[in-house]
Amino acid sequence: MLTDYEMVCGIETHVELASKTKIFCGCSTAFGGEPNTHCCPVCLGLPGALPVLSSEVVRLAVKAGLALNCSINLHSHMDRKNYTYPDLPKAYQISQFDEPLCVGGFVTLDSGKRIGITRIHIEEDAGKLVHGSEGTFVDYNRAGVPLIEIVSEPDISTPEEAREYTEKLRLIMRYADISDCRMQEGQMRCDVNLSLRLHGSDTFGTRTETKNINSFGNIVKAMNLEIGRQAAVLDAGGTVIRETMRYDEDANRIVSMRSKEGFDDYRFFPEPDIPRFSIDEAEINDIRASIPELPFEKRERYIKELGLSEYNADHLYRYKNVCAFFEAVINTGATPRNTANLIIVTIFSGFSTEGEKEDFDIRVTAQEMAKLVKYLDEKKISMQTASKTLLSMLETGEGADSFISPEDLTDVDADELLALCQKAVEENPKAADDVRSGTDKAINVLKGHVMKNSRGRADSAEAERIIRSLL
């Protein structure tokens, strides 16, 4: 029975660092390109070619460690991890074994639970096998692309926690410019280590590793499948075998790849071609200072200092470019609330994907947006007019003044608004009665009447207040 077991899970996440060049040579890390064009003797592992560790890669990895609350090892070295596979030209991968750059961090989930981070080390990516009708080819463009591997503690107890943990990792990496984490390009891949044990047991069950999962949805799906599979094995009195699995997205199933290697199989030893290296406190402080406000701190500040609702803060904070735009607008003195509302209600209405919100490629400058928000702040225009104007601005790239007519700008003064509200109540006796007798949505009929007769200039919230007082 599934309910008899609890899950124990740790995740290893490979993240491609945002370095323009590879970890041990000057070759480009650009995605794609003709096969084997971003290669040199170092990334091809030709005899005599000597790797030189990129200082940029070390800095980015340290930055990742600091952003994830790790301690930084002041002295570190690279190791050779030996295995034979056609995508690995040297027959070893240069990685780190017993002296990783960063140790002992954590990510805090919304529940307050911390998922520990055991270590972060740097390593090179392998090449890629391309299977075609004429056979299998190898593209070494990816060989030597710099990666960090972030290893979590086995603190994850549900697939949902796994999803939240990896989403938060991604957000932090992107915010701090450590990686773009474009999962569809393989810039972030997760290996899920998972085992089951009886509730209350304090020994771990045998774990399996499901490798290279490349979306948050697939992490949850693969974990649910693997939990079900292991539970069925245990229920039948069997034992789970330590093995490496793959999640087959098309068939939505878990497939066994091979029995799992132990550390001994890799015959790790220190890389003789790269000297030990160190990093000093001054450099670490320098890197720490380069880390911007992180997403969860930003969310806090938006709520506590700017007075945004949790709803608004939640819709802004995950998108770095949106936050930059929002902050540029409010820095001119526009109110945070109206700015946030216009972004979330009007600008976001034109986006259908998360990617579009992340890119936030719009034709309105922060200055023009600020001008529009200020008209709204000063009640020179209604929210409806502001929203309509903003849509035109987004469409054409022209400024607010191109679309706001003098008529729009004439504020409906208090006497006029009162008269409009009285007229709405008189001309819609049924709606007025409905509101009085508790059918509250009838208020929209009355408000609509006011908005129509003011040609959208009236402040609808103010109109509602007056209508209610009249009733």
Q: List interacting residues with Zn ion (CB under 5 A).
A: 25, 27, 40, 42-43
Q: DSSP class of residue 20?
A: S
Tell the smallest beta-carbon distance from residue 29 to Zn ion (Å).
10
Nearest residue (CB) to Zn ion, 42 versus 347: 42
Tell the smallest beta-carbon distance from residue 53 to Zn ion (Å).
13
| 246 vs 231: CA distance, rounded Å | 18
| 185 vs 145: CA distance, rounded Å | 13
| 289 vs 283: CA distance, rounded Å | 10
Nearest residue (CB) to Zn ion, 25 versus 148: 25
Tell the smallest beta-carbon distance from residue 52 to Zn ion (Å).
10
Nearest residue (CB) to Zn ion, 43 versus 342: 43
Nearest residue (CB) to Zn ion, 38 versus 59: 38
Q: DSSP class of residue 305?
A: T
Q: How many CB atoms lie within 10 A of CB 143?
A: 28
Nearest residue (CB) to Zn ion, 55 versus 212: 55
Tell the smallest beta-carbon distance from residue 42 to Zn ion (Å).
5
DSSP string, 152-203: E-S-B-SHHHHHHHHHHHHHHHHHTTS----GGGTSEEEEEEEEEEETT--S
Tell the smallest beta-carbon distance from residue 38 to Zn ion (Å).
7
Nearest residue (CB) to Zn ion, 43 versus 425: 43
**Which tokens hold the place of 213?**
């999962």
| 114 vs 127: CA distance, rounded Å | 35
* Coil, helix or strand at residue 19: coil
Nearest residue (CB) to Zn ion, 44 versus 303: 44
Q: How many CA atoms within 13 Å lie on the side-chain side of 392?
A: 15
Tell the smallest beta-carbon distance from residue 271 to Zn ion (Å).
16
| 243 vs 144: CA distance, rounded Å | 27
Tell the smallest beta-carbon distance from residue 37 to Zn ion (Å).
11
| 152 vs 60: CA distance, rounded Å | 19
Nearest residue (CB) to Zn ion, 51 versus 65: 51
**Using CB atoms within 10 A of its CB, is residue 259 exposed (0-12), middle (13-18) or buried (19+)?**
exposed
Strand (E) or helix (H) holding 255: strand 253-259
**Which tokens hold the place of 3?**
């309910």
Tell the smallest beta-carbon distance from residue 179 to Zn ion (Å).
20
DSSP string, 200-240: T--S----EEEEEE-SHHHHHHHHHHHHHHHHHHHHTT---
Tell the smallest beta-carbon distance from residue 140 to Zn ion (Å).
9
Exposure string for 287-322, b = 16+ CB within 10 A, e = fewer = beeebeebbbebbeebbeebebeeebbebbbbbbeb
Nearest residue (CB) to Zn ion, 43 versus 68: 43
Tell the smallest beta-carbon distance from residue 339 to Zn ion (Å).
46
Cβ–Cβ under 8 Å, residues 293 and 324: no
Query: Which residue type does 431 have?
Result: A
Tell the smallest beta-carbon distance from residue 44 to Zn ion (Å).
7
Nearest residue (CB) to Zn ion, 124 versus 164: 124
Nearest residue (CB) to Zn ion, 43 versus 62: 43
Q: Give Cα 106 distance to the centre of its chain.
A: 17
